């Protein structure tokens, strides 16, 4: 069950999730709040002491806490089944934590591994245009400029070459770029990536990761990026390691890399 929750972008808001009786008799209040006023001291993504267990009682997240500041690219690694995707879904508000609190600055864009589930409109341009925040009197040219800007940011250039194409006429890698372009067109303050480049070849993957890195810094976006690919960690500001639903290590990339190489067969 989702909370009664409305948020007008640009205004802070807060929702308190309803208590769900059936999960645990000791279940405390859970907070999920959205804010538009993130700063380095007021992180855009803040997860505090979050636990999540499935209906079966199986624990997927165990007292997880993390923070991502505007302009920071945090990469989350860990073995299959350790809870990375569950954590992203809890951060996004798609799953309600069983315990703890989540604070998320909006708009928030979520990029999945499979671009096919995210491209819904007849052409690349309409798909990206659908994400552009609109004003009632917004000229069509302004929407078009935003679409072109987003396409160029992800390397779909020249944009005219791809704008009219339908998703099935793009390669898998081009489709994933289009999905990231749609995400950027939202003008997000936070972005969540769940193995977004897993289907791309190494050259295209590296190029897209570098472009996202640049946009995150330039637009002060707080980004949380799940990956199994150690080469992607090169552009991270911080690295978070998960295991069995817990965060086992967390720190700046330079400090974390020796540990990552030591345990590379486990991430
Ligand atoms: N809908 C669900 N119902 C019950 N259990 C689930 C559900 N989805 C995932 N799980 C379980 O929750 C745990 C965490 O899954 P999650 O998908 O978050 O792992 P992950 O770290 O993203 O793994 P991967 O690297 O394979 O993507 C796993 O044990 C998984 O089996
Ligand atoms: Mg996953």
What is the secondary structure of 223-267 as a DSSP string?
Answer: EEEE-S-GGGGGG-SEEEEEETTEEEEEEEHHHHHHHHHHTGGG-
- Per the domain annotation, does 165 fall within a domain? yes
- Per the domain annotation, does 112 fall within a domain? no
49/91 same-domain check: yes
User: If you ran DSSP here, which 8-state letter would residue 161 be given?
Assistant: H
Q: Is 213 in the pocket of ligand 1 (CB under 6 A)?
A: no
> What confidence score (pLDDT) does residue 35 get?
61
Q: Is 83 in the pocket of ligand 1 (CB under 6 A)?
A: yes
- Per the domain annotation, does 5 fall within a domain? no
CATH number, residue 58: 3.40.50.300
126/101 same-domain check: no
Q: Is 189 in the pocket of ligand 1 (CB under 6 A)?
A: no
> What confidence score (pLDDT) does residue 255 get?
95
Range of the domain at 99: 27-106+231-266
- Per the domain annotation, does 155 fall within a domain? yes
pLDDT tier, 7 (very low <50, low <70, confident <90, very high otherwise): very low
- Per the domain annotation, does 129 fall within a domain? yes
Q: Whose CA is nearest to atom 27 of ligand 1?
A: 80
- Per the domain annotation, does 81 fall within a domain? yes
127/69 same-domain check: no
Across all residues in the chain, what is the average pLDDT? 86
Q: Is 227 in the pocket of ligand 1 (CB under 6 A)?
A: no
Domain end marker among 188, 215, 249: 188
> What confidence score (pLDDT) does residue 31 get?
64
- pLDDT higher than threshold 60 for residue 20: no
66/133 same-domain check: no
Contact status, residue 127 vs residue 120, Cβ threshold 8 Å: yes
51/94 same-domain check: yes
Please give the tally of structural domains in the chain. Answer: 2
Tokens representing residue 33 in the block? 């709040």
CA–CA separation, 109 and 20 (whole Å): 27
- How does pLDDT run across 81-97, given as a tens digit for each residue? 999 999 999 999 999 99
Q: Is 54 in the pocket of ligand 1 (CB under 6 A)?
A: yes
- Per the domain annotation, does 113 fall within a domain? no
CA–CA separation, 75 and 239 (whole Å): 5
Q: Whose CA is nearest to atom 5 of ligand 1?
A: 54
Hey, is 77 helix, strand or coil?
Answer: strand
Contact status, residue 93 vs residue 32, Cβ threshold 8 Å: yes
Contact status, residue 124 vs residue 178, Cβ threshold 8 Å: yes
- Per the domain annotation, does 95 fall within a domain? yes
* Ligand located closest to 193 CA: 2
162/129 same-domain check: yes
pLDDT tier, 212 (very low <50, low <70, confident <90, very high otherwise): very high
164/141 same-domain check: yes
CB-CB neighbours of 71 under 10 Å? 16
Query: How many Å lie between the centroid of ligand 2 and the Cα of residue 31?
Result: 24
- How does pLDDT run across 216-251, given as a tens digit for each residue? 999 999 999 999 999 999 999 999 999 999 999 999
Phi, psi angles (nearest 5°) of residue 50: -85, 130
Distance (Å) of CA 178 to CA 63, 184, 195, 251: 35, 10, 15, 31
């Amino acid at each position: 069950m989702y909370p009664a929750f409305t948020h007008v972008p640009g205004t802070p808001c807060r929702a308190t999730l309803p208590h769900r009786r059936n999960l645990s008799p000791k279940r405390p209040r859970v907070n999920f709040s959205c804010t538009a006023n993130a700063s380095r001291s007021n992180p855009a993504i803040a997860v505090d002491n979050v636990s999540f267990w499935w209906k079966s009682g199986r624990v997927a997240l165990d007292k997880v806490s993390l923070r991502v500041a505007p302009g920071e690219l945090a990469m989350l690694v860990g073995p299959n089944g350790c809870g990375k995707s569950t954590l992203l879904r809890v951060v996004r508000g798609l799953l309600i934590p069983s315990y703890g609190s989540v604070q998320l600055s909006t708009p928030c864009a979520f990029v999945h591994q499979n671009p096919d589930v995210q491209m819904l409109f007849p052409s690349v341009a309409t798909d990206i245009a659908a994400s552009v925040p609109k004003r009632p009197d917004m000229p069509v040219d302004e929407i078009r400029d935003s679409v072109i800007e987003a396409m160029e940011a992800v390397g779909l250039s020249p944009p005219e070459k791809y704008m009219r194409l339908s998703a099935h006429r793009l390669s898998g890698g081009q489709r994933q770029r289009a999905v990231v372009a749609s995400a950027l067109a939202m003008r997000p303050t936070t972005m969540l990536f769940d193995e977004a480049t897993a289907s791309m070849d190494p050259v295209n993957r590296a190029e897209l990761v570098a472009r996202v890195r640049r946009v995150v810094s330039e637009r002060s976006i707080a980004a949380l990026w799940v990956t199994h690919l150690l080469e992607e960690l090169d552009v991270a500001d911080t690295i978070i390691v998960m295991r069995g639903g817990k965060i086992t290590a967390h720190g700046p990339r330079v400090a974390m890399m020796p540990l990552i190489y030591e345990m590379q067969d486990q991430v």
